[in-house]
Amino acid sequence: MKSFAQFCFAFCLATLASFTVQANEEVRDYPLTQVAPHTYVIHGPLGYPSVENQGFMNNPGFVITRDGVVVIDPGSSLQAGRMLLKQMRTVTKKPVTHVFNTHVHGDHWLGNHAIREAYPKAILMGHPDMIKQANDGAGEQWVALMDNSTNGFTKGTRAIPPSVASVDSSEVKVGGMKFRIHAPEKAHSHTDIMIEVVEDSVIFTGDNVLNQTIARMVDGTFAGSIAACDRIAAVKAKVYVPGHGPSGDVTVVTNYRNYLATLFSVVKQQYDLGQADFEMKATVVAKLTPFHGWNRFDLEVGPHISLAVLETEAAM
């Protein structure tokens, strides 16, 4: 039988070990992919934030310029942002000088905390309405949502919203590279910017484009999302990095546009025939065969139909 002293020693070791793990905790590694000469992306897993995925499910990226690193969407938590920085250091020792956040949804930007922790002078940029909403309570709501859905894994994360506004068609030059902003109106979230890395011919689309998975549309519109797809497809970039799912060529954009446009047009046809959302569901779903295997399709297609009906009515 263990003596009291032995018990205390074992207990203290165990406590110390768990404390040490807690203090250094990062999201587990996902592969770092070079998608263009200066541009890297970590493609997160698909799904909603959960205990299993540690709340991490977006596509953080970074661009290595002559003078420093520009990060796009450093993930959903302090722990996700630290994982991104750890992997970044395997390919560059340059400091992070700038961060773009594509929109207000916290799975994309709560990782700003990790950037600020390591690089206090980094300039954080986002849509003017993203800055406003994030400061007006959306940031705190997302911190709580991530904490709840991961059972506390993201604890310690603080919302650090951007402070520099990125407006439509503006350009930011960093270390000899140009970052062009496309800010579509009323697309995925009403706070969206898409970032074109001009020299690398890469576009980070945020959640205006997804691949192999379907976006929640409660904060957006179908018409605006379709227009956003058309706008960036016309740029003819070599690489498109969606908000979630694998990167690829322009077909990533045209596929997603096809989902949105098919759903929206079939809903309108059925609405004109006098069908309610629940009555038209089978007809709409039958027209979306290429997307049946996409992540979240079964969960989101019903809400999408209801939202498309509301948008159709609002446009009349």
Residues that bind Zn ion (CB under 5 A): 105, 207
Cα radius of gyration rounded to whole Å, the chain: 21
In the complex, minimum distance from the CB of residue 110 to Zn ion, in angstroms, rounded to a whole number: 13
69 vs 232, beta carbon nearer Zn ion? 232
In the complex, minimum distance from the CB of residue 105 to Zn ion, in angstroms, rounded to a whole number: 3
In the complex, minimum distance from the CB of residue 195 to Zn ion, in angstroms, rounded to a whole number: 15
105 vs 116, beta carbon nearer Zn ion? 105
Exposure on the CB side of residue 287, measured as CA atoms within 13 A: 18
145 vs 266, beta carbon nearer Zn ion? 145
Backbone dihedral region for residue 18 (phi beyond 0: left; psi -120 to 50: alpha; all else: beta): alpha
Residue keyed to tokens 């205006």: 208
105 vs 113, beta carbon nearer Zn ion? 105
Alpha carbon distance 123, 164 (integer Å): 7
69-72 and 96-100 strand pairing: parallel
In the complex, minimum distance from the CB of residue 295 to Zn ion, in angstroms, rounded to a whole number: 14
Alpha helices, DSSP H, located in 24-90: 78-88
26 vs 207, beta carbon nearer Zn ion? 207
Token duo for residue 23: 């203090």
196 vs 207, beta carbon nearer Zn ion? 207
Alpha carbon distance 150, 56 (integer Å): 9
In the complex, minimum distance from the CB of residue 192 to Zn ion, in angstroms, rounded to a whole number: 9
Alpha carbon distance 104, 53 (integer Å): 21
Query: Can you give the length of the chain in residues?
Result: 316
Alpha carbon distance 264, 311 (integer Å): 9
